[in-house]
């Protein structure tokens, strides 16, 4: 019977792999290159992660998992516009951290990799849909009609995604931060207006 992967070593190795990819493209991942970067054997990587595609899936899932805590915290709190906006800002400020920026690049690369590799279902493309659903659900909990909630959700999420792309390629923190605050402030104004509209 084959030995099972060490449940304690594998998460540590995955964290080290993600760290090693901060200045490398995801497309360059090979067992040999990672083994050299981590100073481990290729056998150890195969033992813990299986095939190359399984390794890529684990990397992507490790990247996107960090976002789920913010979503769950806001969903468990009483629905208020202030609480929702605070969660949006917390998510954005997390993305603005210098240590996180290389991970944004990897997430974007992983999502694009899934576009050209439909057989590679690692979940990177699903992150966008998950953010849309979270925003939509939050707005509906506040009393925003479903069709308007979906529209406002997509507008804000896509604005912030675009600004993350800007941040990754330009590195202009000040401009991107200013634009993100404007996007969130405009969002607040639109949602406030919807909430005070008389019911039909």
Walk along the chain (200 residues) and give the pLDDT tens digit of each residue: 455 555 678 888 888 888 888 878 877 788 888 888 888 999 988 898 888 888 888 887 777 666 666 677 777 778 899 989 998 998 888 777 777 777 788 888 888 888 888 777 777 778 888 889 989 999 999 999 999 999 999 999 999 999 999 988 898 999 999 999 999 999 999 999 999 876 54
pLDDT for position 67: 65
Same domain for 16 and 72, yes or no, is no
Q: Is residue 4 part of a domain?
A: no
Same domain for 71 and 137, yes or no, is yes
pLDDT for position 138: 92
Same domain for 22 and 86, yes or no, is no
pLDDT for position 101: 76
* C-alpha distance from residue 100 to each of 6, 60, 153, 164 (Å): 27, 14, 23, 11
Domain count, the chain: 2
Instruction: Give me 183's structure tokens.
Output: 């996007």
Same domain for 147 and 171, yes or no, is yes
Report the C-alpha gap between 115 and 77 in whole angstroms.
35
**Cα 75 to the chain's mean position, in Å?**
17
18: containing domain? 9-50
Same domain for 69 and 126, yes or no, is yes
Same domain for 40 and 88, yes or no, is no
φ/ψ bin of 21: left (φ > 0), alpha (ψ from -120 to 50), beta (otherwise): alpha
Contact (Cβ atoms closer than 8 angstroms) between residue 50 and residue 4: no
pLDDT for position 146: 96
């Amino acid at each position: 019977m084959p030995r099972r992967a060490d449940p304690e070593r594998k998460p540590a190795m995955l964290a080290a792999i993600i760290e090693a990819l901060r200045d490398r493209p995801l497309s360059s991942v090979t067992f040999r290159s990672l083994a050299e970067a981590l100073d481990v054997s290729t056998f150890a990587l195969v033992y813990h992660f299986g095939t190359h595609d399984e390794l890529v899936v684990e990397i992507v899932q490790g990247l996107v998992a960090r976002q789920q805590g913010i979503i769950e915290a806001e969903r468990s709190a009483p629905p208020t516009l202030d609480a929702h906006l605070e969660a949006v800002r917390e998510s954005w400020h997390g993305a603005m951290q210098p240590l996180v920026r290389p991970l944004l690049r990897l997430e974007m690369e992983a999502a694009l990799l899934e576009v050209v590799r439909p057989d590679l279902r690692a979940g990177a493309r699903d992150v966008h849909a998950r953010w849309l659903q979270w925003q939509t659900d939050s707005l509906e909990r506040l009393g925003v009609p479903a069709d308007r909630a979906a529209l406002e959700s997509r507008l804000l999420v896509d604005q912030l995604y675009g600004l993350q792309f800007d941040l990754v390629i330009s590195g202009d923190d000040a401009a991107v931060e200013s634009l993100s605050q404007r996007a969130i402030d405009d969002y607040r104004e639109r949602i406030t207006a919807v909430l005070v509209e008389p019911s039909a």
